[in-house]
Amino acid sequence: MPSIELKLSRFNRIYQPSDLLEGKIVIKSSSSISHYGIVLTLNGSVNLQVRGGSAGVIESFYGVVKPIPIVKKNIEIRTSGKIGPGTAEIPFSINLRQRGEENLERFYETFHGRNISIQYLITVDVMRGYLHKSLSATLEFIVETDKADILQRPISPEMVVFYITQDTQKHPLLPELKTGGFKVTGKVSTQCSLVDSINGELTVEASSVPIQSIDLHLLQVESILLGEKIVTETSLIQTTQIADGDVCRKMTLPIYVILPRLLTCPTVFAG
């Protein structure tokens, strides 16, 4: 049984919209293969997705909200012919965005959300007629903002001061906390580049009960505007433990969180 595989020139599969997408099509077969053409398809779109389990509020709009096309290209790599036995490597190159080319939408950064995904896929099809099943392979690559755009719009880190006391909590507390008091102060960056970490610091000023753990939760906020109604869902995507056990009081603890690339993207507003 012949097999087909797509390999990109960059091992991390990260590209900017102005880059050239280069790679090779690897076909392995024990005998020669006749085909009616090898076609490469480039697809990028913003999609609403339904995951397994109970559907959320956003997912209820799955049949209403149409995908937003970003880019779609078809390139014929080879016309009809034959591929000999063994391993054949066919190189290819595609411009993601050419100057003067009219794109369907601007290139949003790759994002794997709970309800919304921004994906870029490259697919190769080897057409073999009615008697044989076509050979096909699909590979996802990651799109990030052009370096030129980043230089034009430098990101200045913003630090926000926060504090947590027994009075800021909305859930029921132990009587010891209510009477004895509790106070945590700190600061954390709320605006940064995706390639940078979230930094900050935290200090337990006072706690009348022992502390078991201090964790920082990274949340993902997704919204859909449908007519005049905005539906928003927030989901947890990562937890980072800042401290384990009862920490010393008035000691400054560092906050350092690496962002999971595929689950985060710059704040995006799309049609």
**Paired sense of beta strands 252-257 and 111-112, if any:** unpaired
Q: Are residues 104 and 26 in the same domain?
A: yes
pLDDT the model gives residue 147: 57
Q: Are residues 99 and 213 in the same domain?
A: no
Contact present, 76 and 39 (Cβ < 8 Å): yes
pLDDT the model gives residue 264: 85
Q: Are residues 139 and 248 in the same domain?
A: no
Give the three-state DSSP class for 59. helix
In the chain, which residues have pLDDT < 50?
A: 53-54, 150-151
**Last residue in a domain, options 122, 151, 180:** 151
How many C-beta neighbours within 10 Å does residue 152 have?
Answer: 8
Name 45's Cβ contacts closer than 8 Å, sequence gap at least 6.
67, 68, 69, 70, 118, 119
Residue 270 belongs to some domain of the structure? no
Q: Are residues 119 and 253 in the same domain?
A: no
pLDDT the model gives residue 4: 92
**What total of structural domains would you count in the chain?**
2
**Last residue in a domain, options 151, 184, 206:** 151
**Last residue in a domain, options 112, 129, 151:** 151
Contact present, 220 and 264 (Cβ < 8 Å): yes
Contact present, 114 and 123 (Cβ < 8 Å): no
43-53 per-position pLDDT tens digit: 999 888 766 54
pTM to 2 decimal places: 0.78
Q: Are residues 180 and 214 in the same domain?
A: yes
How many C-beta neighbours within 10 Å does residue 151 have?
Answer: 8
Q: Name the residue range of residue 128's domain.
A: 3-151
pLDDT the model gives residue 151: 47
Give me the CATH number covering residue 208.
2.60.40.640
Residue 268 belongs to some domain of the structure? no
Q: Are residues 18 and 54 in the same domain?
A: yes
pLDDT the model gives residue 271: 66
Residue 269 belongs to some domain of the structure? no
Task: Give first-to-last CA distance, the chain, whole Å.
Answer: 45
